[in-house]
Structure 1
Amino acid sequence: MSPTWTRRSPWPESGPAPSRSGRPSTTLKTPAADRSNFEAHRSSYVMRRLPMKFVLLFVGTPEDQDRFESMTPDERKAAMAGAGGWFHEYTQSGKIVGGEQLQGPKTVSTVRAENGQRIITDGPFIESKEVIGGFAILDVKDRDEAEEIAKKWPAGPVEIWPTVEN
């Protein structure tokens, strides 16, 4: 029996009849032994995703973290105003789809495999002079757009990591 691959579409005219889910669909049948037609058109039937996702990592030093933690609430509020405005702007525009500020490296624990067992240790996995203070997940059209957004970050360095597209 041949497998059936279905493409869902929000446009009623693209499919002959609604599927069981009630959404219109178009059906592509391929022989079980020859999936070449499906493979040749995989992007239009399975993964139709134009925007790209990137993770921005906000980098600082342990001294930056200590300085931030020693601030008064008013000083913290003033320091966070620029970052808050930046997050608000790009969240409202739909470019930031997730993100969080992270607690300092003193709160991190790492799970390692040693001799077939999982061992939990305090502290980050890699000893470093830099720490990740937070992250933002971007949904943008390309790396150039991710870089333009990162350049407007009002604080320290930002690493731009593309995600793996499934």
Structure 2
Amino acid sequence: MKAIQFSAPGGPETVSEVDIPTPEPGPGQIAIAVRHAGLNFVDVLARRGAPGYATGWPYVPGLEVGGEVAAVGADVTGFAVGDQVVAFTVDGGGLAETAVAEAGLAARVPAGLALEQATVVPLTWATAVGLAAAAHISAADRVLVTGAG
């Protein structure tokens, strides 16, 4: 399958399109035929070699994807081949024709919501949940959410 890959930490010269084996889902995972993928600043940090971002080299970036379920691993319920989903791919791999994600980090796209719009949610959601946990926000607290748009 085709994928965008960082060969090593560095600048844009480390980025290339490559052919790599298609990943298979393991237990608790789904494989997704990627139609849309988010590229975020964490991917830039991974390419630069910042500690804690790339899981090894070479590295396929992309932490959020949208597409159709292509295969379902053992012990996965609630997803079927052909379901339209978005997912957070913790270890990258989203800038490829097929990506694997933990089923618990995937969600079906609701009817009426465009897949390309839904694809931008997973990393933002993970960021918001992480910040809420780090700040010890409770249901009784008030917070201000700002953003452009």
TM-score category by the smaller chain?
under 0.3
TM-score (norm 2): 0.26
> Greater relative contact order (Cα 8 A, min sep 6): structure 1 or 2?
1
